Chains A and B, each alone.
Chain A
């Protein structure tokens, strides 16, 4: 390490602020640093309260003695329909998963629709059909709803907002700030499928076989882990920003170092090929039916068995572990034994030229 001049760590501990900007950029919606900045500076500064400040997948509130997990999410995907699902299945799975990641058992959903003038009613029916199927399969009813219609050109066909409410489980309360030294890090299945399915559909990219979205309800996998109780420390579904962003958030929330093994990360061959063609890193690509699990090292094998007992978790693997070194940073061990830092992206992942 002699060739590299010493770096003044003090200079680095307080990097310059993210560039000030007077307009919302697409990068503000990427799940990276710009998103975090938007939430902190514009929302938390005004809405701020203890429940919101948790910044988990869902917030915890007490209502009449019952502890509830509440999450809300808006879905703006284009195209509306894609291999493996449509915006409807996504809107149900996404919110159920956010509630489930708290260890809670989802009890009900609400759905709000913004419809664009001219939207085909048969498309709308297919979307509602998928929502119905997804909600029924999960055993969670949609108990309230709302529709609004806007002028042509003011929405991308349709937008959906869903809110989910679940009952927390006193014995099973994973949380992003509970990762600790020695934890094993598991993923429940192959990563990067959803993001690449959307991109392939959006860009009209034709591959030999269509990449299908992984959109799925993770409740059965959460239930499979429930018997491990307090030894399951963190559950997160790595949606926008991908596994890399989720691991960074956990490393920061728990003040631990995360180390993952590049070779262990399950990326399907067609997804990897598509990522390489477009110059994208699968670590940052969105998932909608995969979860990241931090479990105490001693019970990792048991947790893997539990996940694999369900078809959705059949390909669950261990991808890394928590270390005491380099707190708040995610390091990746390359196949050759080199190391690199997996940072939070400033904004959207941009396809590379070279």
Chain B
């Protein structure tokens, strides 16, 4: 399959790994921003294979991981209402709120359904005119156009029983927040290819220049990621700090203008809480006032809900690369994949969950060697 199989080719990948190791004169610290990239890195064991040359920090680019507790609690409150059919992407169902998750709401009688597209949720609203259908609009710039489209179309079609609970975040302010942290260790970034497919990369150019870090727009297959890492290492070794595009088969400098325009028409920038990190100014999207009728927070009166994150969870320090998951006191004890305190322990690719499994593997190996 063109554009896919060659990016999974083990021989190409192995030669890229060898080249990166040969080029690195020191161990560089890079952050991949997107959860999809973390997925590939963890599943293929790329961080293990590159360990001598590059330390990969799994960044805050997983929408599941950064959706704040407050928004989860709003989702739980709305989903529990008898008149509501609450729709969501699948992996949000296990994210713990203050006292339960969406799966438990469903077990107690709430109508919670997994959908693959916000337009499916809109169709559900048309099929159930006597109920309120709410879609949990989470994600980065990648999912924003489809979510904007659903709201746009709902207004076009005059569907009144559809609304969205918006928890959108944007990448550049998160990168800025990480780079502004006094103890930042990240020396270069792999930017999320699909975010850039929508947004382009112009907005990353001032970041690369101001903070003197290479930012590589990178795809999601093993060869993409290794190429992206190779490009970042090459820049670091030669003292450069530019935005470069590895993902040329999908991303243009200006992104996809019609998608950007649609997002701009439906959403506006807003301050947004990030789970474990706190509020980052102008880092999120909210519905514009003219679409207020489709805002589930206003419709169900949950806008004022405020909660505090569990103090034991250091997800923010993990997501910003300040600590590795095992350095968190709750890791592996109070916080496990079965009973996560924070989102990075939820999905199998979350940084904490990945470390948990790796640690279990190595611990059992060590135990075996002793016995």
Contacts and interface: CB of A to CB of B under 8 A. Distances in A.
Contacts of A3: 27, 51, 55, 324
B64 interface: yes
Contact of A338 (B49, B90, B104, B355): B49
Interface stretch (A67-75, A91-99, A313-321, A325-333): A325-333
A314 B253 CA distance: 50
B94 interface: yes
Interface size class, chain A: 35 or more
Which of A13, A25, A278, A347 is packed against the most chain B CB atoms within 10 Å?
Answer: A25
Contact of A12 (B91, B104, B332): B332
Contacts of B335: 16
Interface of B: 8, 10, 13-14, 17, 27, 34-36, 39, 42-46, 48-49, 51, 55, 61-64, 89-94, 103-104, 106-108, 114, 116, 138-140, 142-143, 194, 222, 324, 326-327, 332-339, 347-349, 355-368
B364 A326 contact: yes
Which of B43, B108, B339, B361 is packed against the most chain A CB atoms within 10 Å?
Answer: B361
Nearest to B139: A353
Interface in A327-354: 327-329, 331, 334-341, 343, 345-347, 350-354
Nearest to A205: B116
A351 B104 contact: no
A11 B116 CA distance: 38
Given A27-B103, A341-B360, A354 B55 contact: no
B49 A336 contact: yes
Nearest to A346: B338
Contact of A336 (B14, B62, B91): B14
B55 A343 contact: no
A15 B43 CA distance: 23
Contacts of B27: 3
A352 B39 contact: yes
A39 B334 CA distance: 24
Given A16-B339, A21-B104, A33-B338, A7 B361 contact: no
A336 B359 CA distance: 21
Contact of B339 (A18, A24, A27): A18
Given A23-B104, A336-B17, A1 B333 contact: no
B219 to A, nearest CB: 13
A331 B48 CA distance: 14
A19 interface: yes
Given A350-B93, A353-B139, A354-B34, A7 B45 contact: no
A278 B116 contact: yes
Contact of B358 (A337, A341, A351): A341
7 contacts: A7-B362, A15-B336, A263-B10, A328-B364, A334-B44, A343-B348, A352-B90
A26 interface: yes
B104 to A, nearest CB: 6
Contact of A25 (B49, B104, B368): B104
A19 B361 contact: no
Nearest to B29: A3
B103 A25 contact: yes
B44 A7 contact: no
Nearest to B366: A9
Interface string A12-43: 11011111010111110000010000000000
Contacts of A16: 333-336, 338-339
B368 A324 contact: yes
Contacts of B55: 3
A40 B198 CA distance: 49
Which of B55, B139, B368 is packed against the most chain A CB atoms within 10 Å?
Answer: B368
